[in-house]
Amino acid sequence: MLHLPKVAVLGCGYWGKNLVRNFSELGALKSISDPMEANTKPLCENFNVPAVSLDEVLADPDVAGVAIAAPAPLHAELAIKSMEAGKHVMVEKPIAMSRAEARSMIDKASERERILMVGHLLNYHSGFLKVVELVESGVAGKLQRIYSNRLSFGKVRVEENVLWSFAPHDLSMILRLAGGKLPNEISASGSSHVSDGIVDFCHVHMTFDNDLSAHTFVSWLHPFKEQKLVVIGEDAMIVFDDTQPVDQKVAVYEHKAGIVDGQPVLDKAIGKFQNLQPTEPLKNECLSFLNAMHDGREIYTDGEEGLRVLEVLSRADDAMKRGS
């Protein structure tokens, strides 16, 4: 059996407990750390792992990496401290709260020759990876439009708005499909209905080179759950609907549209569902971090990718505040 590096999880709340479970199932969990005993006690009992202080994690020579699921304002501080202690870092989205913080994290990773990985989960989803494969193989042809919806009823946050909470996943996917390039222009709009100043609905519009445009719509006040990515190309359209069963999550529609005698003509095609492996994206993400530490395997969601997503988030947030 492959001997994987050991990991400590920092932050064991709503999302951290999922990291604890996955690293434990992969046989890589060494310890957990969270100032709230209510978070750590059940995990210690369920996964037979000790709860220790941050200082103990950083001083433990058996801990090769840390997975950070603490509140976003703590990401930069915890990541930099961890890398200074020689640990590799996987940090949940967003990478940090500012461009300056993210750049400091990237510089520290380079200085200490440590891995800095960002938890943009859908980059490890077999459905999205199939979309990437289809786009890169030319099935869709030249891309014209990408859009995504991430909608649900709850969980409503009070420490961050829906843009910062939901959109990193979608922006990460859109930027990857756009070749990792930043948009030329970004506009955004949003509205608050539950907590003053905390946006519950947000639309972000982006334009890229080569006549490619994109938008994402996120909300936690929607009557039903929708997690859908649509890629429109000259030759075909691809739909990734994460609410569907695994055998219906990704479909290719070879629709055709053109002009005949000055009139638009549409040729509608039947969707072709794609074969996917029924894997857990978070387990894939955790395993990618372990493999990167073990043998230097490449990861896509590194610090630079996290900074690109943060750049779009920041520009969209600024545009939303300006009302443009």
Q: How far, in Å, CA of 201 to CA of 208, rounded?
A: 24
Alpha helices in the chain (DSSP H): 16-25, 37-47, 54-59, 75-84, 99-112, 126-136, 162-177, 281-295, 303-322
Identify the domain boundary among 83, 114, 145: 114
- Please state the pTM of the whole predicted model: 0.93
Structural domain including 93 reads 6-114
DSSP bridge pairs for 272: 252
Please state the separation of Cα 61 from the chain's center in Å: 30
CATH of the domain at 106: 3.40.50.720
Chain segment 260-313, per-residue pLDDT in tens = 888 888 888 899 999 998 999 999 999 999 999 999 999 999 999 999 999 999
Whether residue 157 is found in the same domain as residue 100: no
Confidence of residue 2 (pLDDT cuts 50, 70, 90): low
Q: Tell me, yes or no, whether 87 lies in a domain.
A: yes
Q: Tell me, yes or no, whether 274 lies in a domain.
A: yes
Helix (H, G, I), strand (E, B), or coil: what is residue 23?
helix
Q: How many domains does the chain have?
A: 2
Chain segment 93-123, per-residue pLDDT in tens = 999 999 999 999 999 999 999 999 999 999 9
Q: How far, in Å, CA of 175 to CA of 303, rounded?
A: 14
CATH of the domain at 236: 3.30.360.10
Identify the domain boundary among 114, 140, 171: 114
CB 99 within 8 A of CB 191: no
CB-based burial of residue 85 (10 Å sphere; 0-12 exposed, 13-18 middle, 19+ buried)? middle
Whether residue 194 is found in the same domain as residue 237: yes
Q: Tell me, yes or no, whether 21 lies in a domain.
A: yes
How many CB atoms within 10 Å of residue 226? 16
pLDDT value for 238: 98
